[in-house]
Structure 1
Amino acid sequence: MRNYFVVGASSGIGKALSIVLADSGNSVYGTYNKTPVPQETGNIKYYPLDVMDDTLNLEFLPEKLDGIAYCPGAITLKPFERIKSTELISDFQLQVIGAVKLLQAAMPRLRNGNNPSVVLFSTVAVQTGLPYHAVVSVSKGAVEGLTRALAAEYAPKIRVNCIAPSLTDTPLASSLLNNEQKRDSANQRHPLKRIGIPEDIAYIAEFLLSEKSGWITGQVIHVDGGFSTVKL
């Protein structure tokens, strides 16, 4: 049994990942912030945490962590000329600064882990240019750079990888999928003719966190229904 810390475990991909990890017999320490307090089930325990706080209290964690997944995210889509600097800063603070602070605070516990692993999250829009995605591409591009830098700095003890999904059916993406026309259009843009579901991403994250991926680090894994590489 391994100890996993899932930041943003109460919704979307983080929620699905927590369930997958717990169902495999692992202990999961999950956090929530703006969502309602989740009901603890099985091997999952939930704790309030705002990654935007100046200081992070992680005393609820065990002294040994075998893996961390940083799942908080945001989707700000708008024309480039309408982007405000405050929107860029806010997105960067959540997606990049929050991850940096969290990993710095948890690193002593991660060093105590058994073949420890970190999973971060990017987006298909970083390496595939998409209109109106400048805000998210700036912050997630930094996440991809952070992934490779940390993989180099902490090798061979700690592995660090990143998942870059395409559009996934989560509450975060609800405004993009709020009618059948939008949903069908999104499905048709993917070679596999459907958008992702949280479990599609969670199963890959589980693999990257586990010892089964022991020879993988510094990678950005695209889980996107073929969107970034296949043109039909």
Structure 2
Amino acid sequence: MNLDGKTLVVTGVASGIGAATASLLQQNGATVIGVDRNVPAEFSGTFIQGDLSTPEGVAAVADRVPEGVAGLLNIAGVPGTAPWQTVLAVNVFGVRDLTRLLAPKIADGGAVVNLASNVAAGWAARQLEVARFVQAADAAEALAAVAGDPEVTGNSYRFSKECVRWLTQVQASEHLGRVRVNSVSPGPVQTPILEDFKKDHGREKVEGAVALLGRAGQPQDIAEVIAFLLSPQASWINGTDLCVDGGLSAHRTVTTLASAAV
């Protein structure tokens, strides 16, 4: 893959999948503008330190991004061990609003990739609720509206990634014919927040999944797929989610249906 002359914006660049993706893109010739609230220990591109949990923070980041970038990779995210308001603010409205502000700065033929999750596989069952939340004009009002819903506040990470799945389709539709928008849904990945996922989703469940697969995913596994979605080979892939979880979702679906059929 040759990315010479292309400038790409990568959020969450300080660690994990964001860091691996930025490194891979740079190895293939891209200029990377990295965004994170934490300063990366190693990063050779242009770095923007910013807070994606507030509209003001998102706007401040967007203002520093030049015109004509080739794409936006929304990788920054907050695990479910954080306060639910923060999870939804960053994982949903941070992604939504940064994409809205940067879309006019993305050159024709560019691409956006959002990081979803395999925990959002059942998002379509809550599509109406998800759509209402994502489309709310005011993020603060949207958060207040779900404050009494334990399905949202008690499962904020899952709900946030369900929103990302829907948001990806909305964004793909909005920019049809000019900018492609897709998402990637990893399973358990060996990143600094894997321990948070064990606390949030259940240690036994996460560690059992890793044992079943033989290993946890690595940031590079996900970065390669993200990079593919930027490539000419993916030019007809739009509004789609790619599940990258080693087959975990397939196994769970088959197992569940097999049990129900007995």
Where structure 1 has 5 or more consecutive residues not aligned to the other structure, the ranges are 78-85
Q: Is the 8 A contact 1:92 1:139 kept in 2?
A: yes
Distance 2:25 2:73 in 1: 11
TM-score (normalised: structure 2): 0.74
Note the alpha carbon deviations across 1:4-32, whole angstroms, 9 max, x for none.
00011111100000000000001100012
> How many Å apart are 1:186 and its aligned residue?
3.9
Note the alpha carbon deviations across 1:41-84, whole angstroms, 9 max, x for none.
2xx2212111123322234322111110011112226xxxxxxx
Distance 1:108 1:74 in 2: 26
Specify whether residues 149 and 69 from structure 1 end up closer, same or farther in structure 2 by C-alpha distance, changes over 3 A only.
same
Specify whether residues 47 and 38 from structure 1 end up closer, same or farther in structure 2 by C-alpha distance, changes over 3 A only.
farther
Number of the residue aligned with 1:139: 160
Of residues 7, 12, 17, the one that matches 1:13 is 17
More helix by share: 2
Query: Is 1:187 aligned with 2:181?
Result: no
Distance 1:97 1:90 in 2: 10
Number of the residue aligned with 1:126: 120
Number of the residue aligned with 2:50: 49
Distance 1:67 1:202 in 2: 15
In angstroms, what is the RMSD of aligned CA positions? 2.6
TM-score (normalised: structure 1): 0.83
Distance 2:155 2:16 in 1: 23
Number of the residue aligned with 2:91: 95
Number of the residue aligned with 1:30: 34
Note the alpha carbon deviations across 1:115-153, whole angstroms, 9 max, x for none.
110000111111169xxx822111111110010111112
> How many Å apart are 1:114 and its aligned residue?
4.3
Number of the residue aligned with 2:105: 109
Number of the residue aligned with 1:83: none
Q: Could you list the structure 1 runs, at least 4 aligned residues long, displaced by more than 2 angstroms after superposition.
A: 35-41, 57-62, 86-90, 174-178, 181-187
Aligned length: 214
Of all paired residues, the percent bearing the same amino acid is 25
Distance 1:185 1:72 in 2: 26
Where structure 2 has 5 or more consecutive residues not aligned to the other structure, the ranges are 124-153, 256-262
